[in-house]
Amino acid sequence: MVSVGIVGGTGYTGSELLRLLATHPQAHVRCVTSRTDAGQRVDDLLPLLRGHLDLRFTEPDSAPLADCDLVFFATPNGTAMYQAPALLDADVRVIDLAADFRIKDVALWERWYGMEHVAPALVDEAVYGMPELRREEVRSARLVANPGCYPTAITLGLLPLLEAGRAEPKGIVADGKSGVSGAGRKASANLLMSEVGESFKAYSVAGHRHCPEIEQTLGLATHQPIQLTFVPHLVPMIRGIEATLYVTLRESGEDLDELFRKRYADEPFVDVVPSNLALDTRSVRGSNMCRLQVMEPGGRGVAVVQSVIDNLVKGAAGQAIQNMNLMFGLDESAGLGSVALAP
């Protein structure tokens, strides 16, 4: 049984970790931290856990994190880098669901995240936790940088084309759409339902911090510089990401569907959907699945890839648990067998 600690259990990512771990057959949540709600029962704040978890939130400074086998950081960017070094020194493995260890160029990270990195020595060691790309490295990792939600959807959608040399690495366009839970649980007027409902908007058009993460990941995987234009949009739903990707093909008329099927044939959480079926975010809501669809409309030399994930599961907590399973030699799918919710 893997003993688990969670730093930051009250946000959407932290509560999703708790939801999934509550029925995990080989993991036990030892402690959950929260400065604001310390002393309060976890299932009072998160009633979905009633009957599944008998714990109170603990102050981070007094939580027995060093006694855990693994600690998840479901915290804002810039938190894990302060606490991870001491945990690693205590032989505790760490998965950071924020961005502290994702970008290998520390100066680039500091520019995008607007703060000094206090643990740069750990950045090189951290394994980027995308099992479809780094499965063997994750198995032996002490520190895993869990990918962002948009980077997960976009990278999985582009990887087969770029790995096989079928697409140009420049001029790629990623049109992403996300539900409001992607912005976190913090109170914000522009995320109120009366502000988001019946509306649709792009944001961070001038540059989004997930763009360098995606370009780095694809560049390292394909050994070539990647040039991506990424524009995210906010849509009036709670969960889900849909990314529509446009890539220039080097040769027209190839069987792209077969390429994707071969690439992901052995992946438990990637499903390549035939082009005659509709693809929507509801088909993955609440599950750890990424569903992909690829086609070349009109045979005009441009591949269009659609990618859908639940941003809180495959885009965050589910992928983190998938990484935990690999790190401790468990069945990779343990605790992640939920079928999507519909309607």
The catalytic site residues sit at: 149
Q: What are phi and psi of 55, to 5 degrees?
A: -140, 155
> Rounded to whole angstroms, how far apart are CA atoms 302 and 59?
53
Three state DSSP letters for 240-302:
CEEEEEEEEECCCCCCHHHHHHHHCCCCCCEEECCCCCCCCHHHHCCCCCEEEEEECHHHCCE
Burial of 286 (0-12, 13-18, 19+ CB in 10 A): buried
| Contact in structure between 232 and 177 (CB atoms under 8 Å) | yes
| Contact in structure between 321 and 336 (CB atoms under 8 Å) | yes
> Rounded to whole angstroms, how far apart are CA atoms 69 and 67?
7
Please state the separation of Cα 295 from the chain's center in Å: 25
Q: List, in sequence order, the alpha helices (H) in 23-79.
A: 42-45
| Contact in structure between 302 and 82 (CB atoms under 8 Å) | no
Task: Give me 282's structure tokens.
Answer: 């509801």
| Contact in structure between 126 and 101 (CB atoms under 8 Å) | yes
Q: Where are the beta strands (DSSP E) in 160-224?
A: 172-178, 201-202
| Contact in structure between 84 and 143 (CB atoms under 8 Å) | yes
> Looking at this protein, which amino acid is placed at residue 303?
A
Please state the separation of Cα 42 from the chain's center in Å: 24
